[in-house]
Amino acid sequence: MVDTRIYKVTDLDKNDVQADIKNIVRSGKNIIFPTETVYGIGASALSEKGVQNIYKVKGRPSDNPLIMHFSDIGSIHDYIHIDQSYVKKLIEAFWPGPLTMVFRRKPVVPNTITGGLDTVAIRVPSHPIAQKVIAIAGVPVCAPSANISGTPSSTLFEHVYADFNKKVDIIIDGGKSDVGLESTVLDVTGDVPVILRPGIITKAMIKSITPHVDMSEALQGTEVPKSPGMKYKHYAPSGKLTIVEGEKVTDYINDQIKKQHQSNKKVGVIATANLAKRFDTDYVFNIGESFDEAIIASNLYIALRTMDQMQIDVIYSVSFHQGRYGEVIMNRLYKAANHRVVKV
């Protein structure tokens, strides 16, 4: 058991707190901090001990590669080869920000973070707290989502505290993450960039910078994964989640609620504001207005976590295909439901 220290954002300007953060990261221990996407559980990317602790604390398979985070763009070049001319344009357009790019790695990158591959994923977060923590540490930091492997990622301090108090040395309370979904991951080792994991940096946005973009076959499970979120079950709540799509969503879900109640099941529903009051259960999570996909994205993991906190046995969710973030929202929701979808 670890004596976890909780720091507020304002504490990061204190010399003793900065010294503590630097010591923890460089000595192979773990720190949790917010990024613009989700909270991350961090360790020095150059510390085998720290990286192994991440895998251990999260219960994460060691062949699932990690992302190296940097506080500034200039420091990435010692670790990667930039092979393609279009990469500079992508960096100028999207870094710092919620885009991860996969490069050929240099020998200095440890095997422990690459899943045995000759590539490594790199991100420069835009969140000021993340930037500050990495800069204080003075080394690149691996920081996968701060959640128990396979469960919904954490976008609130309360969630990471519940999962990791007494398990990591430092947790920084940064409130709610802005984006709420993990970064887009883009393989830039080839002539054409390939999306390995969708995110709010969308295919259309990438195509505006470089006209040819592919989607990875590994998203359908037919290729060796180069990125987190591709190989194993992800984002799943404890309750059985089903996505319901079609014109008779309300009627179908209410019929299922009635049947589940007869079996003494606790039933929850995730729905948009215009539908939230139409369901015959006490456990409805209003995820946001149907037209505001950015809010829906930022609330998705909170909804799934809330269902766990309420110990819901069976969960029904409406779908969220609308808007430019519909693809990434549904990518995460399909995985959380193990692709369990009913069309009505």
pLDDT at 139 over 80: yes
- Cα 121 to the center of its chain, rounded Å: 14
Per-residue confidence (pLDDT) for residue 228, from 0 to 100: 52
Which is higher by pLDDT, 231 or 251?
Answer: 251
DSSP 56-105: HHHT--TTS--EEE-SSGGGGTTTEE---THHHHHHHHH-SSSEEEEEEE
Per-residue confidence (pLDDT) for residue 72, from 0 to 100: 94
Write the single-letter amino acid at 153: S
> Which band of pLDDT confidence, cut at 50, 70 and 90, is reported for residue 219?
low
Q: What percent of the chain has pLDDT over 70?
A: 95
* Opening angle at CA 164, ends 160 and 167, nearest 5: 160
Q: Residue 328 and residue 51: Cα distance in Å, rounded?
A: 28
> Which band of pLDDT confidence, cut at 50, 70 and 90, is reported for residue 223?
very low
For 2-38, write each residue's pLDDT tens digit: 999 999 999 999 999 999 999 999 999 999 999 999 9
Q: Residue 261 and residue 274: Cα distance in Å, rounded?
A: 24
Structure pTM? 0.91
Per-residue confidence (pLDDT) for residue 222, from 0 to 100: 39
pLDDT at 221 over 50: no
Q: Residue 217 and residue 298: Cα distance in Å, rounded?
A: 27
Q: Residue 150 and residue 141: Cα distance in Å, rounded?
A: 22
> Which band of pLDDT confidence, cut at 50, 70 and 90, is reported for residue 226?
low
Residue 236: φ, ψ to 5°: -85, 135
**What is the per-residue burial (b if ≥16 Cβ within 10 Å, else e) of 203-220?**
bebbeebbeebeebebbe
Q: Residue 112 and residue 332: Cα distance in Å, rounded?
A: 26
Is the bond preceding 96 in cis, omega lying within 30 degrees of 0? yes
pLDDT at 220 over 60: no
Q: Residue 32 and residue 164: Cα distance in Å, rounded?
A: 9
Q: What percent of the chain has pLDDT over 90?
A: 89
Are 216 and 196 in contact by the 8 Å Cβ rule? The answer is yes
Are 136 and 17 in contact by the 8 Å Cβ rule? The answer is no
For 61-110, write each residue's pLDDT tens digit: 777 899 999 999 999 999 999 999 999 999 999 999 999 999 999 999 99
Across all residues in the chain, what is the average pLDDT? Answer: 93
pLDDT at 270 over 60: yes
Per-residue confidence (pLDDT) for residue 217, from 0 to 100: 78
Q: Residue 70 and residue 165: Cα distance in Å, rounded?
A: 25
For 286-331, write each residue's pLDDT tens digit: 999 999 999 999 999 999 999 999 999 999 999 999 889 999 999 9
* Opening angle at CA 39, ends 35 and 45, nearest 5: 80
Q: Which domains does the chain have, with CATH numbers?
A: 5-220 (3.90.870.10), 240-343 (3.40.50.11030)
Q: Where are the beta strands (DSSP E) in 262-340?
A: 267-271, 283-286, 314-318
Per-residue confidence (pLDDT) for residue 233, from 0 to 100: 52
